[in-house]
Amino acid sequence: MRGLAAVLLCLMLASCAGQQPPPRAPASSSPTSDTSTPSIPAPLPPSSAPITTPSRALEPGITVRGTVSAGVEAGCLILDTGTAQYLLLGADPAIAVAGAEVEVTGRAEPGAMTTCQQGTPFQVTKTQRVGG
């Protein structure tokens, strides 16, 4: 049994003998140092406008009113204001039904990815029915 183990060990070592290790980067005997001066960008010209950081949490919502209709894609609700169409995202499904006149508060999200193919995406924070 020991003889077989010795033979297998020799075969494994022989198969590894033909392989070359990956090349290594040459070792440097002295440390390298960058003596170049860092590039400093030129200052921007002064502006009379105050610097503000955009924050969606601070943006006020807008309120739009219109009639809800079914979109061309299943599950999509469109609010037609007469001058614009909004894709309602997150509207109360008990209130925002096809044919209802509603008022929604929220924020237009023109860059939002949706499967609906019409209207500007509008993230709704409040939905209410108008009229009788």
Q: Which two tokens stand for residue 55?
A: 């924050």
Question: What count of other Cβ atoms lies within 10 Å of the Cβ of residue 68?
Answer: 23
- Give this prediction's pTM: 0.55
**Check: CATH 2.40.240.20 for 62-129?**
no
Tokens 């070792």, located at residue: 27
**Residue 88 near residue 104, CB atoms below 8 Å:** yes
pLDDT tens figures, 35-75: 666 666 666 555 554 544 444 444 568 999 999 999 999 99
